[in-house]
A = this chain, B = another copy of it.
């Protein structure tokens, strides 16, 4: 906005009509109120002057910023870009602009970002990184802005959310390993304060049980974060406790990668000695060594659904919250195989 953008007044003056007439012409919804001839002259003048409506000014009057805030933990985490693109694609389509902020999983950063969003009077909010008992919740209520959760959800409920069906994903992984003949499967769980960590863990245990196997709580080691180092750490705990383990379901591809590391450290080969299944199917998971068998999550779709839900919530603020659960798929690659002989 450095140059002298032409305003609605400039156009009005050029045509010799009142600014309000110009406004009416330029808004599809009100164009029918003005005569075709005047409308034509206005459009012509607008084009000639290179008029671009000032969406911000319009928003001031209409009290709609046509803007939504998207809060994610870390854009550099390959999990999120597809979600964001999904969100963005339907939002732009609908005339909204997404503004995104990273929290780095810090509550303080999240608060600040939320304040910035509030200052911009966003029409809606998408939160991708909530924890199960999120401290932001009261603030959200206070803000009174339509909100949808994506990827992770909260325990409390009451907020629309779009998440992966994590329990189903865990079951996919477990059943695959079971089918291969593994008798003793461990789980490297994600942080339990995150809904994904908890749900995948619960799903894992449920799947084991559903198969009629003994459920040993000790067969799950919880990682402190979704990072390779934490995965290696948890993998070590697990293998120390259960040397006869032949397969691991990791709650996340990065944790799976950590398991790779720990297996290598022990001189064990994947998948020959121990099979590993990841979760997410992050980009280039097929390029790892070995290529990672993992639970594929349709991230872009999740983003798309979230944005749709948000638009719905903006249009009809009183509709009750609903949760959409999208189905994951198992992608079998090179990190899973039959268990070593004598260990079935």
Cα–Cα, bound, A59→B59 (Å): 12
Number of copies of this chain in the oligomer?
A: 2
Interface assignment of A106: CB less than 8 Å from any CB of chain B: no
Report whether A57 and B55 are in contact in the complex, using a CB–CB cutoff of 8 Å.
no
Partner of A57, one of B2, B53, B60, B283: B60
A45 at the binding interface (Cβ < 8 Å)? no
With an 8 A cutoff between CB atoms, is A289 at the interface? yes
A65 at the interface (CB under 8 A from B): yes
CB contact between A288 and one of B59, B74, B115, B287 (< 8 Å): that residue: B287
Provide the residues of chain B in CB contact with A202, threshold 8 Å.
none
B287 touches A1 (CB 8 A): no
A219 within 8 A of B: no
Minimum Cβ distance to chain B for residue A303 (Å):
11
State in angstroms the CA–CA spacing of A53 and B144 once bound together: 16
Instruction: Say yes or no: B88 contacts A121, CB within 8 Å.
Output: no
Chain B residue contacts of A74, Cβ below 8 A: 85
Residue of B nearest to A54 (CB): B121
Give the docked Cα–Cα distance between A102 and B88 (Å): 9
Partner of A119, one of B52, B78, B81: B52
Contact B65 A56 (CB under 8 A): yes
A301 to chain B minimum Cβ distance, whole angstroms, is 14
Residue of B nearest to A291 (CB): B289
CB within 8 Å for A5 and B121 given contacts A81-B76, A284-B288:
yes
CB-CB contacts below 8 Å: A122-145 with B = 122-123, 142-145
Q: Which of B1, B59, B283, B317 touches A78 (beta carbons < 8 Å)?
A: B283
Q: 16 A-B pairs, CB-CB below 8 angstroms?
A: A1-B64, A1-B65, A2-B123, A2-B144, A52-B119, A55-B119, A56-B59, A75-B75, A75-B81, A75-B84, A75-B85, A88-B101, A88-B102, A92-B101, A97-B99, A284-B287
